[in-house]
Amino acid sequence: MSQLKNPVEPFGEVNTFARGGCTHVTATILMRPFCEGTRTGIALDGSMSMAESFGIDKGSKPLSKIFAPRVLENLVRPVARKIAAHLVTTLDPSGTVSAVYWSTGKDGTAVQSIGELTAAQAEAYPFDPPTDLGNGTHLLPAMRYFLEKYSAAPWGFFVVITDGEIHDLSEVKEATVLLARDIAAGRRNPVKMVLIGLGQQVNERQLTELDDLETGTGIDIWDHKLAANMRSLDDIFAEAVRENMRVASDGRVLDPDGRVVANYEGVGLPAFLEFDLKDGARYFVLEFSGNRIVQPLIDGAGPLPDSVITPEVQEQVDDVDADWRKIHLVMRKDGESADVDLDDSAQ
């Protein structure tokens, strides 16, 4: 699977797969989900490898006394403040987010609780380094912490900030597969976990491995983003959509030759798109409500047809509080329909 690093708004995520001589495409339209009773958490990597990201100088010296000593910034602080406050104001009806440091302590397996923070508290919290930076980076304890703490929540949404050096990756993968099986079997409620890569030395390979992990259930637990590439805070919700969400009354997807490869007339444009293109296709076009969005399939694909965006949609793209970003996500129960149609709800 290949995930585009810079999808065109309003897409949240675009992935391509080689399948049967074709290019299989999945794409999501960015929006804020909502489920009554959702609980949220933010976990900050507290391992030694994060020292410089917390603004700790690990012993470098200036070449001469005439040069000023190196001053490091706490890169974690602004990211943690904004994301934690955003989780409270957009998702968590309790009015707080659970914040922790993970990978702390002598062997890097401890979790240090910060506490429950309101949006105002999160925006002012210093997010200084934990009291004991860990030797080794172990993600599984943080994963278990939130799963156990919010086992009864209808939906859990947890953000993990890290430099991507995960030493227990195989154990996390095994736990993720078991978690997905439990969710698919109805033994526990759904969760979504998003890894945010931070710093100059992010190991994106490991983040991608979790993001692309096949659980054999159709349940996708992990997503990942790089802080440096995020366009807005809502990027963390790129995979938090469901196939039964509708964002427009109709629409269609065209290939570079103008052929229709997906037609949503009469059924509504879903927030999750899936279709096939000819192998080697450089882009596809999404048309809906007078808009024509050209999405490259290769980062830096070169000259492409111009997109046509109506003033109404452009205003929503520019407005982080636009209604299309705030669709309510209702977990469907057996025998119930959970379709959401913005056109109907707006009337």
- Summarised one tens digit per residue, pLDDT across range 24-68 is 999 988 777 777 899 999 999 999 999 999 998 765 544 445 555
158: its two tokens: 């947890």
CATH number, domain containing residue 118? 3.40.50.410
pTM, 2 dp? 0.71
Whether residue 169 sits in one domain with residue 95: yes
The pLDDT value recorded for residue 231 is 81
Judge whether 257 lies within some domain.
yes
Count of structural domains, the chain:
2
Q: Which domain holds residue 309?
A: 2-31+243-345
Which is more confidently placed, 333 or 61?
61
CA distance 159 to 180: 18
Same domain, 270 and 220: no
User: Same domain for 46 and 175?
Assistant: yes
In a domain, 64, yes or no: no
* 137: phi then psi, degrees, rounded to nearest 5: -120, 110
Between 130 and 298, residue with greater pLDDT: 130
pLDDT the model gives residue 246: 77
Q: Are residues 207 and 313 in the same domain?
A: no
Helix, coil or strand: residue 183: helix
Cβ-defined contacts of 241-244 (< 8 Å, 24+): 241/12, 241/28, 241/29, 241/31, 241/33, 241/271, 241/272, 241/329, 242/271, 242/272, 242/329, 242/338, 243/270, 243/271, 243/272, 244/270, 244/332, 244/337, 244/338, 244/339, 244/340
- Same domain for 76 and 111: yes
Q: Which pLDDT does position 71 carry in this prediction?
A: 64
Helix/strand/coil for 60: coil
Asked if the structure places residue 233 within a domain, the reply is no
Is the residue at 312 inside a domain? yes
At 282-304, the pLDDT tens digits run 999 999 988 999 999 987 667 78
Do 16 and 43 sit in the same domain of this protein? Answer: no
Contacts of 73 (CB under 8 A, 6+ apart): 55
Same domain for 218 and 265?
A: no
**Lowest-pLDDT range, 52-61, 152-161, 331-340?**
331-340
Q: Are residue 48 and residue 156 in the same domain, yes or no?
A: yes
